[in-house]
A and B are shown apart, each in its own frame.
Chain A
Amino acid sequence: MDGWRVSDEQLEGWLVSLLDGTRRVVAPVAEDGLTLFREVTSADEIRLATRHPRTRLPAKETLLPATEVLFSYRLEAGGVALEVPPQPSDQVVIGLRPCDAAGTARLDEVLLADSHYADRRRRTALVTVACTSAGPACFCTAVGGSPGGTEAADLQVVPLQGSWLVRPLTDQGTTLVAGSAEGWPEASDEDWMAAEGQRRAVEATITTEPIPSEWVRGLAERFDAPAWQALAERCLGCGLCAYVCPSCACFDISDAGGALCGSRCRTWDSCGFRQFTVHAGGYNPRPSHLARHRQRVLHKFAWFPLEHGALMCVGCGRCVELCPAGIDIRQSVVRVMSG
């Protein structure tokens, strides 16, 4: 296996080399007491070490912007002029946790058919940082992930005692370190074992039981289970869970403007909203919190895996941590299956 063991200075030197202006660099930074993904211009801003908390929000915005102009139009003398916004530059997203990168793989399943997304995705490299600890809401191991997972990552950085294991996983990842890696020492067998030991140690702290694969069908069959009633009782119908989720891909399309000029926008949307399904005539096929919460759970744990294989939840725990009503999607799954 290819990989290097690098010091803090070498890692920083590499980060600085990425910031040479040829690409957009997005990384976790501190803002108003939060850790958030932001475009950075200097390596000092980057909070890579896992002693910093996981970012409050995922990096989804870098691939699926909360709002994106698909095209704009303008009435001119000769007719209507259409303009598609300029294509994005190359970007590298640094500091994703393995769950965040896995979320990107789920977005790919849904959105690669879209040219805007596909173009951005092709120009994006993902650099993940393996987790050295798990938070109380973390449950990646229950949904097929791992604190050392490599899914969708181009390059993985594993924090070790006082140094870093840098491990390219794709050609794009190799290219990212090409200039810097020449002077780096190869990682030794002990380094790989240390990384592996760390992964296992963190995995051991995650207590959520893995979701058995037969539950996918089981959940789909329990569409009418009475347990749903109590689960959705305290849901307040906001869209928070979808908006903080690294794998939720639903969007809305709206036109803004008038007869002379305007634009067509794509914005995030959430199945938690009543408006998500309400029809023009007023009929709503998902009329209650129950129906909407069930949709969220079943989409992630039944409909999506039935079609694509993997679960659509990556276990980052953000929705669990941030839900103002304290709804826990893990409990929903377990209670429906056991109730």
Chain B
Amino acid sequence: MSAVADWQPRLVALVCNWCTYAGADMAGMARRTQAPNVRVVRLLCSGRIDPLIIVTAFEQGADGVIVSGCHPGDCHYVQGNLLARRRLTIFSELMDFLGLDRRRLQLAWVSASEGVKWSQVVDEATAAVREAGPLRGFGRPAAGAPPVRFPERPSAPRPAPAPGENEATATALRERAASLLGGGEVAVVAGYAAGSLPGQMVPTFVSDAAGTEVLDWNERCLANLSVYLPELLRRDGRVGMVVKSCDAKAVLGLVREHQIDRDRVVLIGVPCTGVRPDGRLAAKCYPCAEAVSPIADMTAGTAPAGPRAVAPDPRDAEIAALAALPADQRWDFWQGQLGRCLRCYACRAVCPLCYCETCVTDRNRPQWIPVSIDGAGNTAWNVARAMHLAGRCGDCDECARACPADIRLDLVNRRVASVLEARFDYRPERAATAPPPLLTFLPTDPDGFR
């Protein structure tokens, strides 16, 4: 096809005003020849390059994107490029996981005097993108996504609770809740009650001791109740909440981000053997070593003594299986998944850390995330969601549970979390003491820029 033979890669360069733009200018003044495939967009600082700008470039037809700014230590705004370094490291790993060929996203530090380096960056990036070929389209592949064979999940490290265990916890829970409400310590207790479907447990809010009878506990108590905390606190002032250890990391996050006052929340820890949404132990429960959350203010019943059996998170093997695929196949897999996204935003609604009054996707001046419910818009939304939760996600998996299209958001979150741990030594538990990892930096952070 002649269209392919005539194909020329299109690259967008997002560059900082103070260093790289001047460097590119220098290359021009020095009459250096360089590939003509790059359109330069000048921004004030590499720290202002939101991942959505990069996604938008790809959506609108770029085959490759160059991001460039001042060398570390040389930022016009002191630290913008050091924040950019962390953010873009996570972003490029995320995009690699989503199947974007690594050659398509080029990161470089170019100072105002490095005209020669700039022209080299342009030539090399253009050659690399030319080699990678035209960007694969957004949206569900016409031939369907490739079937990815995930490894069989190993059997659960722990058995389901013994008969009577749940009932004992539930009884203790009701007593705790009744005493908190009766004593006026809290005005409302958020817990779980039987829903209308067989076996279903749903969030419930109890405001008086007599009402605590509806509270119950079993391995179908899936919801992370901390999503309700800010609103309940606004309404009722003091709140008791039933907490599983996986939910507690979101509470830490809300405290860290000043969304709730920890002193007005009483956390009732439940001894949890793991949730079983469809009879099988949830993946997130395999490695969980904490029967009762260490930040709980009290325990309903008694925490089991001694350490308990854990196993590696089976999703790590699934992530490894995806990571082992060629990038194009991984792209097709994820475009197949994201192609199902309805943009119902259930993932956002159930997320305790998605508390923004107005979400970036609801902003329309400018409209960074296309409203169209199709490949490009769905990719932009899901990338934005993952990036905004990077280092803030408490790993409760509520987004993946809520998704009506079964998009593997849990794999996306977990991949981002594992990069954060590997590169920046950050884990969700550290929300108690450390700042969100993308809002800070170390001069010694690993550097993937050329």
Q: Which residues of A contact B (CB under 8 A)?
A: 31-34, 36, 56-57, 66-67, 136-137, 233-234, 236-240, 242-244, 252, 254, 256, 265, 267-268, 270, 273, 275, 320-322, 324-328, 330-331
B39 to chain A, nearest CB (A): 16
Which residues of B are found within 8 Å of A270, using beta-carbon distances? Answer: 344
Q: Which residue of A lies closest to B373 (CB)?
A: A66
Q: Give the CA-CA distance A270 to B227 in the complex, in Å.
A: 21
B433 within 8 A of A: no
What are the 10 closest A-B residue pairs judged by CB atoms, nearest first? A326-B202, A238-B349, A324-B402, A236-B349, A66-B373, A238-B346, A328-B196, A240-B344, A326-B195, A243-B344
A57/B373 contact (C-beta < 8 A), A136-B198, A256-B367, A320-B197 known: no
Q: 5 more A-B contacts (CB under 8 A) besides A67-B374, A244-B404?
A: A136-B197, A236-B350, A254-B371, A273-B345, A326-B200
B372 within 8 A of A: yes
Q: Is the CB of A32 within 8 A of B202?
A: no
A331/B196 contact (C-beta < 8 A), A66-B342, A324-B346 known: yes
Q: Is the CB of B197 within 8 A of A321?
A: yes
B362 within 8 A of A: yes
B437 within 8 A of A: no
A163 to chain B, nearest CB (A): 31
Q: Give the CA-CA distance A322 to B200 in the complex, in Å.
A: 11
B112 to chain A, nearest CB (A): 32
Which residues of B are found within 8 Å of A136, using beta-carbon distances? Answer: 197-198
Which residues of A are found within 8 Å of B144, using beta-carbon distances? Answer: 31
Q: Give the CA-CA distance A36 to B407 in the complex, in Å.
A: 13
- 26 A-B pairs with C-beta separation under 8 A: A31-B144, A32-B336, A32-B406, A34-B406, A36-B340, A56-B405, A57-B404, A57-B405, A66-B343, A66-B374, A67-B372, A137-B197, A233-B205, A236-B227, A236-B350, A238-B348, A238-B349, A243-B343, A243-B344, A252-B371, A256-B371, A270-B344, A324-B223, A324-B402, A326-B203, A326-B223
Q: Is the CB of B350 within 8 A of A238?
A: yes
Q: Give the CA-CA distance A328 to B200 in the complex, in Å.
A: 11
Q: Is the CB of A328 within 8 A of B349?
A: no
Segment 184-210 of B: residues with Cβ below 8 Å from A: 195-198, 200-205
Which residues of B are found within 8 Å of A330, using beta-carbon distances? Answer: 196
A243/B370 contact (C-beta < 8 A), A236-B350, A238-B349 known: no
A206 to chain B, nearest CB (A): 14
Q: Is the CB of B372 within 8 A of A267?
A: yes
B398 within 8 A of A: yes
Q: Give the CA-CA distance A330 to B195 in the complex, in Å.
A: 12
Q: Is the CB of A240 within 8 A of B197?
A: no
Q: Is the CB of A325 within 8 A of B223?
A: yes
A320/B406 contact (C-beta < 8 A), A238-B349, A252-B371, A325-B203 known: no
Q: Which residue of A lies closest to B142 (CB)?
A: A39
Choice from A32, A237, A252, A267 contacting B349 with Cβ under 8 Å: A237
Q: Is the CB of B350 within 8 A of A324?
A: yes
B228 within 8 A of A: yes
B320 to chain A, nearest CB (A): 19
Q: Give the CA-CA distance A278 to B201 in the complex, in Å.
A: 33
Q: Which residue of B lies closest to A45 (CB)?
A: B144
Count residues of B near A (Cβ-Cβ below 8 Å).
41
A322/B404 contact (C-beta < 8 A), A31-B144, A236-B350, A331-B196 known: yes
B413 within 8 A of A: no
Q: Is the CB of A328 within 8 A of B195?
A: yes
B238 within 8 A of A: no
B104 within 8 A of A: no
B281 to chain A, nearest CB (A): 18
Q: Is the CB of A234 within 8 A of B204?
A: yes
A268/B203 contact (C-beta < 8 A), A31-B144, A324-B350 known: no
B87 within 8 A of A: no
B293 within 8 A of A: no
Q: Is the CB of B372 within 8 A of A256?
A: yes
Which residues of B are found within 8 Å of A137, using beta-carbon distances? Answer: 197
- Convert B336-377 into 0s and 1s, putting 1 for each residue whose CB lies closer than 8 angstroms to a CB of A: 110010111110111000000000001010010011111001
Q: Give the CA-CA distance A79 to B144 in the complex, in Å.
A: 40
Which residues of A are found within 8 Å of B228, using beta-carbon distances? Answer: 234
Q: Which residue of B lies closest to A241 (CB)?
A: B344
Q: Is the CB of A56 within 8 A of B367?
A: no
Which residues of A are found within 8 Å of B340, using beta-carbon distances? Answer: 31, 36
Which residues of A are found within 8 Å of B345, using beta-carbon distances? Answer: 238-239, 273
Q: Is the CB of B371 within 8 A of A265?
A: yes
Segment 203-223 of B: residues with Cβ below 8 Å from A: 203-205, 223
Which residues of A are found within 8 Å of B197, using beta-carbon distances? Answer: 136-137, 320-321, 326, 328
Q: Give the CA-CA distance A322 to B381 in the complex, in Å.
A: 21
Q: Give the CA-CA distance A36 to B371 in the complex, in Å.
A: 23
Q: Give the CA-CA distance A56 to B344 in the complex, in Å.
A: 14
Which residues of A are found within 8 Å of B198, using beta-carbon distances? Answer: 136
Which residues of A are found within 8 Å of B145, using beta-carbon distances? Answer: 31-32
B401 within 8 A of A: yes
Q: Which residue of B lies closest to A234 (CB)?
A: B203
Q: Which residue of B lies closest to A325 (CB)?
A: B203
A18 to chain B, nearest CB (A): 20
Q: Give the CA-CA distance A32 to B340 in the complex, in Å.
A: 11
A92 to chain B, nearest CB (A): 20
Which residues of A are found within 8 Å of B205, using beta-carbon distances? Answer: 233-234
Choice from B371, B372, B401 contacting A324 with Cβ under 8 Å: B401
Which residues of B are found within 8 Å of A322, using beta-carbon distances? Answer: 404
Q: Is the CB of B337 within 8 A of A240?
A: no
Q: Give the CA-CA distance A187 to B195 in the complex, in Å.
A: 44
Which residues of A are found within 8 Å of B201, using beta-carbon distances? Answer: 326
B434 to chain A, nearest CB (A): 28
Which residues of B are found within 8 Å of A328, using beta-carbon distances? Answer: 195-197
Which residues of A are found within 8 Å of B402, using beta-carbon distances? Answer: 238, 240, 324
Q: Give the CA-CA distance A243 to B337 in the complex, in Å.
A: 17
Q: Give the CA-CA distance A331 to B196 in the complex, in Å.
A: 8
Q: Is the CB of A265 within 8 A of B372?
A: yes
Q: Is the CB of A320 within 8 A of B373?
A: no
Q: Which residue of B lies closest to A330 (CB)?
A: B196
Q: Is the CB of A320 within 8 A of B223?
A: no
A260 to chain B, nearest CB (A): 13
Q: Is the CB of A240 within 8 A of B336?
A: no
Segment 295-345 of B: residues with Cβ below 8 Å from A: 336-337, 340, 342-345
A56/B404 contact (C-beta < 8 A), A66-B374, A321-B197 known: yes
B7 to chain A, nearest CB (A): 22
Q: Give the CA-CA distance A324 to B345 in the complex, in Å.
A: 11
- Convert B216-246 into 0s and 1s, putting 1 for each residue whose CB lies closer than 8 angstroms to a CB of A: 0000000100011000000000000000000
Which residues of B are found within 8 Å of A33, using beta-carbon distances? Answer: 406
A34 to chain B, nearest CB (A): 6
